[in-house]
Structure 1
Amino acid sequence: MRIQDKKSNLSSKGNRSSITIHACAESGDLIGFRGLLEKNPSLLNERSILMLQTPLHIAAGLNRVDMVKYLLNWKGPGKVELEAKNVNGETPLHAAAKNGCNEMVKMLLDYGANVEARTNNLISPLRLAIGYALRSGDNLTVNTLKEYNADRLAKEDVSMFLYAVDYISERKISLNYPPASLQNEKLVKFRCQSSAEKIYDANEELVELPCQSDAEQINDIEQSNYSTMDYSWTDDQNFKEPKNYDNGLGRKMNEFDHELSKIVGLHQLKLQLRRWAKGMLLDEKRREMGINLGPRKTPHMAFLGNPGTGKTTVARILGKLLKSVGVISSDNVTEVQRTDLVGEYIGQTGPKTRGKIEEAKGGILFIDEAYRLAIPGKWADYGVEALEEIMSVLEDGNLVVVFAGYTEPMKRVFSSNAGFCRRVTHFFEFEDFTCKDLAEMVMIKMTKQDEKSQLNGFKLHPLCTHDAVVAVIEKNSTEKLRGKMNGGLVDHMLNNAREHLDSRLTFDSKGDELLIIMLSDLEAGLRLLSYRMTLKEKEQRK
């Protein structure tokens, strides 16, 4: 029985770095699972694309005991969501109950899971456990839920089960709940007679039925020849689409893809962004179909990575997408740093921060080097006041906040405010650019020039091929320098290369001589950059 979205495992099995957290939960790969979480704690409650399942949903539904224990005892930032709901409104307890995972049910209940949680169709874990028992003859999960006083308002459910299980389990009469449009009339009657709660039909009208005896109900169901249905939410179920079912979502995704494709490198990040964007757009479609997904949460984010990796560029692209689906009213990105938010004296920080928040309203507030708001050892620092001011407006709506900075220092921000990981739920890691990526940027900048650029009109010598530029970068820069500057390295290198071109020309030079940058100019430009950065580091150490 499928309990997770099959599309969550499209990654290559031969490449561990591309395996998803959901795939590890499905396969029972605890080592890989722990490795992914320790590297990126934001995956703790990561949702699968279509089913919106968390790792806990999958692990609990597949009886992954050690994995569930690890999640429930998680010591990193954030906390596992015991009551997270998938697209059907099922919690991890529902997932365990409907698959007869008795040990998982006990464990989740011991950790405080809500025994009376309800799905979108008002189904309790006990109801799902009864459905499993009717198919399998295994009553353990039902008895466990009874011990925890499950479904106290529907005691008739249990007595009906005890009578019915022996009578119809061999015939595999299913009590599974199909989507509203596919509900069987006889099963609706059975649910009505066996429940103290109100039951509504597919047209949302209250079902009122005369009382029947247990035997009459069971006979009624048998006569209906109702076949067993799977619990899983498959792609081919017959939902009635709204007339304008696409609502331009495909076009919006294509536009987002097109903007991302303009960015060099960052392949893993692009995959992560596309998954997130697709899930968000599919949620819009689900809402159009009438599925109640609850209030839309504002997607506040953390961008983790070194400077020059395209964080601001990606924020602008996301702004366009978020505006197109109505999350924000403007695609404007307001960039701020600590100095824009923090005052020098008592009483200055609050108004200063609120002013920037007001300026960014309707769009994105992009906080660069956000870790500087939580300086270690300085709990009385004004930066903490600014951070608390920002956290206080994260649930107001019509403003998306992006916290950006180095990965390790950003962990201070995560721990400095108890509600950070609850309110900021999307974490994106920006990897460093490779030498090939940087060389590609050089080629693009020199062929698609901005008229305002200092390099407008200049061009590379034919010997400056992509491979040749890669070799220049590898030879004349260190990994440390590339990691520190990333895309910024290209601009500095090209500007220095132009300076070197000027230094070797004379006033007798003419024509293309004045405009062609040679490989030697690129080498000299990069060496000069390395020298200047070394001097700067020495000055900072003094």
Structure 2
Amino acid sequence: MPVPGSQNGRPRPAKAETIHGLARAGDLDGVRRKLRENPALINDRNPVMSQTPLHVAAGYNNTGIVKFLLDFQGTDTIELEAKNMYGETPLHMAVKNSSCESAKLLLERGADIEAKANNGMAPLHLAVWHALQGGDCRTVSVLLSYNADCYAKDDEGKTPLNHIPGGAANEKLQKLLSSYMEEQRKRKALMSCREGRAMAEFEEAISQIVGLKELKMQLRRWARGMLFDEKRRAMGLGIASRRAPHMAFLGNPGTGKTMVARILGKLLHMVGVLPTDKVIEVQRTDLVGEFVGHTGPKTRRKIQDAEGGILFVDEAYRLIPMQKSDDKDYGVEALEEIMSVMDSGKIVVIFAGYCEPMKRVIASNDGFCRRVTKFFYFDDFSTTELAEILHLKMNNPSESSLLYGFKLDPRCSIEVVGELIARETTEERRKQMNGGLVDTLLINARENLDLRLDFNCDDANTMITITLEDLEAGLKQISRQRQLQ
């Protein structure tokens, strides 16, 4: 396996008076002097080989100079992934010359462990080449400790292991690579299983959301993207971190905005975007003080409570006064406090409220649309969707629910319940209540069941079955209550 760009396993010598010659000779003071005189030399390329001072220092394991170059503060930034004429990075130069300490310094600073030279060889290929030549496996071990990909292939389609000839002399190196390959195979398989479980949990969560097809599709995109990013990082690929966007949820009460925010919190935590799954729900009264100087500290406390999770600002339009002349209102101050932390990456903010009043919030701050990049519209539920929600609540009640342990009569199908809701409620009432109508309906229906039962009843099934009659009575009670409001 020929490895160009070296002379007896070392970079070709440079003239002593150049920064490259000083880096080769280990003359730290000389390198310092050169860079004081001309900071642009930090990434200077030498003739023929086109190597930077970092290539040379790393190849000769002059760790003091490597560290100095990595820490150097000048007008130009050190090129950690600079390539010489053979496409080799400083890390390539370090590992193929058994410069273990320099390799560690480069890896600690984020050097690309899978960088490819012109022949497709990754640093692990070159470390194996050195181990074969000199019998020293240290650089191989260093790269494996940083999870170098044992399955990486060069332009000939060979993995590092493929380059090792058979025979007892190479048995130690073969075993070392083989054991890591098996470990990586198991890790990838485990990762795939974990990702599958995570996606299954997510799908189970959004299956509890009725309607909202566009939102659910967007959540699926995020979920898959975030899980694939996690897999890419596990494979050692250096990719940018994904930051969850701030959002606005627009719609009437009872359309599921709070529930979706809670599911989103669990999703973002599950895939590692947020360190916690907490969702802190706040309204104007939680943020705005009554006197000058009270709003800022009050809002900052809530922001701190939500750090690492989601701050869900319900009825956000109430932070902005209807009349611009109202200079005694402190809601604008609360909004500005929230906006000031939205670029920090420590929190995700969701503003929720009616569509029309929320336009005041959007227009009140020039930076709102720059920071809030996702707008989701929560439509009012149809009568069929309300019936689906009712079935979900009855089939999967929490132990704290008043409906826990109860069931629906088989005749209460989604179609029949939907028709009942359409008949007993007005469109305006449904628009005002949405999912809240179902909660109130079921509580009323349970109360009606208790009213019509006889104390002599000893049939367990009858005692826990809510019938169509109970649902109809519950809806009529809602209508009577609303007439009084």
- TM-score when scaled to structure 1? 0.51
Match of residue 308, structure 2, among 351, 362, 377: 362
* Aligned partner of residue 484 in structure 2, secondary structure: helix
Match of 1:461 in 2: 409
Tell me if 1:376 matches 2:254: no
1:523 aligns with 2:401: no
CA distance in 2, matches of 1:356, 1:290: 37
Q: Contact 1:501–1:521 at 8 Å: present in 2 too?
A: yes
Distance across 2 between alignment mates of 1:339 and 1:431: 27
Which AA in structure 2 matches 1:332? K
CA offsets 1:408-428 (integer angstroms, 9 cap, x no match): 221211111111111111222
Distance (whole Å) between structure 1 residues aligned to residue 428 and residue 229 of structure 2: 42
Q: Report the 3-state secondary structure (helix = DSSP H, G, I; strand = E; otherwise coil) of the residue aligned with 2:312.
A: strand
- Identify the residue that residue 352 of structure 1 maps to in structure 2: 298
AA aligned opposite 1:487: G
State the SS of the aligned residue for 2:403: coil
Query: Which residue matches 1:491?
Result: 439
- CA RMSD in angstroms comes to 3.3
Counterpart selection for 1:443 from 361, 381, 391:
391
Q: What one-letter code is carried by the residue in structure 1 that aligns with 2:297?
A: P
Quote the Cα distance in structure 2 between the aligned partners of 1:440 and 1:275. 25
CA contact (8 A) 2:248 2:374 kept: yes
| Local SS of the residue matching 1:492 | helix
Residue 260 in structure 1 maps to residue 138 in structure 2 = no
CA distance, structure 2, for counterparts of residue 254 and residue 446 of structure 1 = 22
Could you tell me which residue of structure 1 aligns to residue 400 of structure 2? 452
1:447 & 1:261 partners in 2: Cα distance? 13
What is aligned with 2:372? Answer: 424
Partner letter of residue 338 of structure 2?
I
Query: What is the letter of the counterpart of residue 352 of structure 1?
Result: K
Deviation at residue 403 of structure 1 after TM alignment:
0.9
Q: Is residue 2:419 matched to residue 1:471?
A: yes
Residue correspondence of structure 1 range 408-423 to structure 2 within 5 A:
408-423=356-371
What per-residue deviation string (whole Å, max 9, x for no partner) do you get for residues 452-494 of structure 1? 3223333333332222211111101122222221111111011
CA distance in 1, matches of 2:380, 2:270: 30
Mark the CA change 1:291 to 1:450 in structure 2 (over 3 Å): closer, same or farther: closer
Quick one: structure 1 residues 445 and 253, their matched pair in 2 at CA, closer, same or farther if it must change by over 3 Å? closer
Tell me, in whole angstroms, the C-alpha distance in 2 between the residues paired with 1:501 and 1:278: 45
Q: Which residue of 2 aligns with 1:314?
A: 260
Task: After superposition, give the CA deviation of every residue in 1:178-205 in whole Å (9 maximum; x if it has no partner).
Answer: xxxxxxxxxxxxxxxxxxxxxxx9x740
Residues 408 and 206 (structure 1 numbering): CA distance in 2 closer, same or farther, change over 3 Å? farther
**Aligned-pair CA distance for 1:522:** 1.0
Q: Give the aligned residue type for 1:489.
A: L
User: Do the aligned partners of 2:226 and 2:271 also contact (CA within 8 Å) in 1?
Assistant: no
Counterpart-to-counterpart distance in 2, 1:321 and 1:445: 22
Equivalent position of 1:396 in the other structure: 344
Q: In the TM superposition, what is the alpha-carbon distance from 1:353 to its structure 2 partner?
A: 0.3
Q: Percent identity?
A: 57
Please state whether the residue corresponding to 1:345 is helix, strand or coil.
coil
The answer on whether the counterparts of 1:433 and 1:487 sit within 8 Å (CA) in structure 2 is yes
Contact 1:335–1:368 (Cα < 8 Å) also in 2 = yes
| Shift of residue 275, structure 1, vs aligned partner | 2.5
Residue deviations 1:97-119, cap 9 Å, x none?
xxxxxxxxxxxxxxxxxxxxxxx
* 1:424/1:280 CA distance change after superposition, 3 Å: farther
Structure 1 counterpart of 2:440, one-letter code = H
Contact persistence 2:281–2:313 (CA under 8 A): yes
Alignment-derived partner of residue 334 in structure 2:
386
* AA partner of residue 533 (structure 1): R
| Alpha-carbon contact 1:305-1:406 (below 8 Å) kept | yes
Q: Which amino acid aligns with 2:214?
A: Q
- Residue 279 of structure 2 corresponds to 333
C-alpha separation in 2, matches of 1:327 and 1:447 = 32
SS of 1:263's equivalent in the other structure is coil
Per the TM alignment, residue 440 of structure 1 is displaced from its structure 2 partner at its CA by 1.9
Q: Report SS of the residue matched to 1:344.
A: coil
Matches of 2:241 and 2:405, distance apart in 1: 53
Give the Å deviation of 1:365.
0.9
Please say if residues 243 and 273 of structure 2, whose CA atoms lie closer than 8 Å, have aligned partners that are also in contact. Answer: no
Residues 430-454 of structure 1: CA deviation (Å, up to 9, x unaligned): 2222212211222233333333322
CA contact (8 A) 1:298 1:395 kept: no
Partner of residue 83, structure 2:
205
Aligned residue type for 1:414: I
Cα 1:506/1:305, change in 2 over 3 Å: same
Instruction: Decide which structure has the larger Cα Rg and report it.
Output: 2
Q: TM-score, normalised by structure 2?
A: 0.57
1:274 aligns with 2:220: yes
Secondary structure, in 3 states, of the residue corresponding to 1:366?
Answer: strand
Q: Do the aligned partners of residues 374 and 284 (structure 1) sit closer, same or farther apart at CA in structure 2, a change above 3 Å counting?
A: farther
1:224 matched residue in structure 2: none
Q: Distance in 2 between matches of 1:315 and 1:282?
A: 22
- Distance, in Å, in 2 between the alignment partners of 1:506 and 1:473 is 27
C-alpha change, 1:291 and 1:406, in structure 2 (3 Å) is: farther
2:363 & 2:235 partners in 1: Cα distance?
39
Q: Partner of 2:298: helix, strand, or coil? A: helix
CA–CA separation in structure 1 for the residues paired with 2:242 and 2:414: 46
Residue 364 of structure 1 deviates from its aligned partner by 1.0
- Alignment partners' CA distance in 2, 1:295 and 1:453: 40
Q: Is the 8 A contact 2:299 2:337 kept in 1?
A: yes
Which residue number in structure 2 is paired with residue 535 of structure 1? Answer: 484
| Alpha-carbon contact 2:253-2:433 (below 8 Å) kept | yes
